[in-house]
Amino acid sequence: MKKNKNIPLNLREQMNSRIGLICSVVVLILLVLIFHQLDYNLIQKPADEAKKLEEQKKAEAEEAAKTPVVTTASVIAVGDNLYHQSLIDAGKSDSGTWNYDAIYDKVKDQIQAADVAMVDQETVFTTDHDAVSSYPSFATPTEVGDSLINIGFDVIESATNHIDDYGFDYLDQTLKFWKEKYPSIPVLGIHDSQEDADAIKTLEVNGIKIAFLDYTYGTNNSGAGEGKEYMIDIMNDKNKVASMIKKAKDASDCLIFVAHWGKEGEAMPTEYEKEWATFLMQQGVDIVVGGHPHILQPYGRMSDDQGHNMLIFYSLGNFVSTQESLTGLLEGMASFTIQKSTLNGKSTIEILDPTVKPMVMHYNKDTGVFNPYMLDDYTEDLASQHGVRDILGEEFSLANLQAKFKEIMSMNVEPSTNTNLLGVTFDYESNMIDSSGNVVEDTWSISAQQYLENQGVTPVGGDASDDTEDSSDDDSYDDSYDDSYDDSYE
């Protein structure tokens, strides 16, 4: 009899079979989960992360396209670096070496903190110590130039009325000194060739390219000589000035124009200054830094309905000197920030936070002390030790310096719409001369004294200007204020 092959499994066998099936299912599920996790970790997750990263980059790119890249450059400028005889003597040592670094110690930190620091070097240099001289014709030792660089100045302004005091030879010495010893320093307003005169001096700071031009109303003598007119930039041709401004603007993000102009000892800008200021604004100049009056003048912004705007410092006064009046010793440090914003390849420039920080030139010839100070750091005790107290008495005080600064800066300069004086030149007596050779009488300018009187204000110290002869250093004073300056622009 055959055995039945389909005999049902007993209970134990059934259980084992079910357990095996369950285990197989569990293993299969685990394998599915493992492969799913592997697929997620190795394929899906990297793909998702890559997608998220791509989306994030896209969002950032879109945001960046809406947000400009902003960079800034801080700029300071000071007035005339003018060495009278006692200042020259202060740099000599018994060892025979000459050094002037210590004169600038009290303002060195402010100068070095700026991205760009500018100074007006009023006079020519000489390497010959026996040829050094002060008023009326100035030749300053080259060691003064070394000190300007040592303390942190980045730009040297040189188009001044004194730059041709000794004609070609000393001007040539000055240019060689700068070119051979400090070739990277932009020296403005004087040139050793026509090619250099046609070139634009620039500095690039934090991605901002700044161009510089420097012109003087004229000079005390007849220039560097026939055929060398290119050596000094003079404001005697408005079309040429306009051409150079355009060239400078095309080569830069921002243009600073240095102007040596105005009337010595006068705190109110003259008609000559105001006409040129309007012209410079219309040509697209961003900032004007003025000098030559040897005393402070107001500053501010200019604009018109054509969209032109410009920051202007009419005069910063002196920087280093031994003048002998309250206004001659009160001076200023111009300060502003150039901001460049770039979006989608296009850049715009803003001039931010303009101000003039008051300064004072302190000296005592008896003790051999000569230092410009920030007025915030000056004290009544220092003022009492100033050598000018022998002349001015208690008129020279910290309180009067502060009050005079406020007085000058409070004056409102009315822009001029005239163009009468844009083409004038100046003769050896500093008279304005028109194209026909006739003297032009100034019938437009108003003095600071007249302005304050019209406002019912009594000037600090009795006068807002300093139009008296100042023979500092025993007649070694720059450009004495004699009668020939009464009706002229210098």
What CATH number does residue 148 fall under? 3.60.21.10
Angle at 294 between CA 288 and CA 296, to 5 degrees: 60
270 occurs within a structural domain: yes
What was the pLDDT predicted at 331?
Answer: 98
- List Cα–Cα distances, 186 to 102, 113, 140, 254, 278, in angstroms: 24, 19, 19, 15, 26
Name residues whose C-beta falls within 8 Å of residue 97's C-beta, 6 or more positions apart in sequence: none
Cα separation, 464 vs 448, in Å, equals: 6
- The residue-averaged pLDDT of 168-174 equals 96
Amino acid at residue number 277 = A
- pLDDT level of residue 65 (50, 70, 90 thresholds): low
More confident residue, 90 or 29: 90
- pLDDT level of residue 310 (50, 70, 90 thresholds): very high
Cα separation, 280 vs 255, in Å, equals: 11
- pLDDT level of residue 28 (50, 70, 90 thresholds): confident
Q: What is the number of alpha carbons within 13 Å of residue 399 lying toward its C-beta? A: 3
How does DSSP assign 252-302, residue by residue?
Answer: -SEEEEEEE-S-TT-SSPPHHHHHHHHHHHHTT-SEEEEE-SSSB--EEEE
What was the pLDDT predicted at 4?
Answer: 55
- pLDDT level of residue 429 (50, 70, 90 thresholds): confident
How does DSSP assign 334-376, residue by residue?
Answer: EEEEEEEEEETTEEEEEEEEEEEEEEEEEEETTTTEEEEEEGG
Considering only CA atoms, which of 282, 267, 244 is closest in space to residue 159? 244
What was the pLDDT predicted at 48?
Answer: 76
3-state class percentages of the chain: helix first, strand second, coil last, to nearest 5 = 40, 25, 40
What was the pLDDT predicted at 472?
Answer: 58
What was the pLDDT predicted at 450?
Answer: 96
Q: What is the pLDDT of residues 86-115, one digit of tens each?
A: 999 999 998 889 999 999 999 999 999 999
What was the pLDDT predicted at 490?
Answer: 33
More confident residue, 462 or 167: 167
- The residue-averaged pLDDT of 47-55 equals 80
Dihedral (Cα; 442, 444, 449, 452), 10-degree rounding? 180
461 occurs within a structural domain: no
The first and second tokens of residue 138, run together, are: 């100035």
Secondary structure element (H or E) that encloses residue 330, with its range: strand 330-343
Percentage of residues in the chain having pLDDT higher than 70: 90
181 occurs within a structural domain: yes
Q: Is the pLDDT of residue 132 over 80?
A: yes
Sign of CA dihedral 300, 111, 151, 71: negative
366 occurs within a structural domain: yes
198 occurs within a structural domain: yes
Q: Is the pLDDT of residue 475 over 50?
A: no
What was the pLDDT predicted at 170?
Answer: 95
Q: Is the pLDDT of residue 469 over 60?
A: no
What was the pLDDT predicted at 462?
Answer: 60
Pick from 200-209, 363-372, 401-410, 459-468: least confident:
459-468
Residue 24 CB neighbours (<10 A): 10
What was the pLDDT predicted at 67?
Answer: 85
- The residue-averaged pLDDT of 36-52 equals 77
- Please report the beta strands in 127-238, taking only residues with DSSP state E, as ranges in sequence order: 139-141, 155-157, 187-188, 201-205, 208-216
- The residue-averaged pLDDT of 304-322 equals 96
Quote the longest CA-to-CA distance of the chain.
Answer: 156
210 occurs within a structural domain: yes
- pLDDT level of residue 136 (50, 70, 90 thresholds): confident
Q: Is the pLDDT of residue 18 over 60?
A: yes
- pLDDT level of residue 37 (50, 70, 90 thresholds): confident
What was the pLDDT predicted at 463?
Answer: 61
Q: What is the pLDDT of residues 363-374, one digit of tens each?
A: 999 999 999 999
What SS3 class is residue 121?
strand
- The residue-averaged pLDDT of 11-29 equals 77
Cα separation, 164 vs 220, in Å, equals: 7
Q: Is the pLDDT of residue 84 over 90?
A: yes
What was the pLDDT predicted at 484?
Answer: 30
Contact 159, 214 (CB under 8 A): yes
What was the pLDDT predicted at 465?
Answer: 65
- The residue-averaged pLDDT of 444-461 equals 94
More confident residue, 473 or 488: 473
Q: Is the pLDDT of residue 486 over 60?
A: no
Considering only CA atoms, which of 78, 101, 79 is closest in space to residue 90? 101
Considering only CA atoms, which of 470, 377, 473 is closest in space to residue 90? 473
More confident residue, 464 or 161: 161
What is the domain range of residue 376? 77-409
Cα separation, 465 vs 448, in Å, equals: 6
293 occurs within a structural domain: yes
The first and second tokens of residue 117, run together, are: 């620091």
- pLDDT level of residue 8 (50, 70, 90 thresholds): low
- The residue-averaged pLDDT of 23-45 equals 78
Name residues whose C-beta falls within 8 Å of residue 158's C-beta, 6 or more positions apart in sequence: 120, 121, 174, 187, 188, 189, 190, 214
What was the pLDDT predicted at 252?
Answer: 98
Contact 339, 286 (CB under 8 A): no
- pLDDT level of residue 466 (50, 70, 90 thresholds): low
Q: Is the pLDDT of residue 261 over 70?
A: yes
What was the pLDDT predicted at 276?
Answer: 98
The first and second tokens of residue 372, run together, are: 């410009």
- The residue-averaged pLDDT of 244-254 equals 98
- List Cα–Cα distances, 5 to 2, 9, 16, 180, in angstroms: 9, 11, 19, 116
The total number of structural domains in the chain stands at: 1
446 occurs within a structural domain: no
Phi, psi of 83, rounded to the nearest 5 degrees: -95, 105
Average pLDDT score, the chain: 90
Q: What is the pTM of this model?
A: 0.85
What was the pLDDT predicted at 367?
Answer: 95
Q: Is the pLDDT of residue 480 over 90?
A: no
Pick from 29-33, 111-115, 205-209: least confident:
29-33
- pLDDT level of residue 199 (50, 70, 90 thresholds): very high
More confident residue, 399 or 45: 399
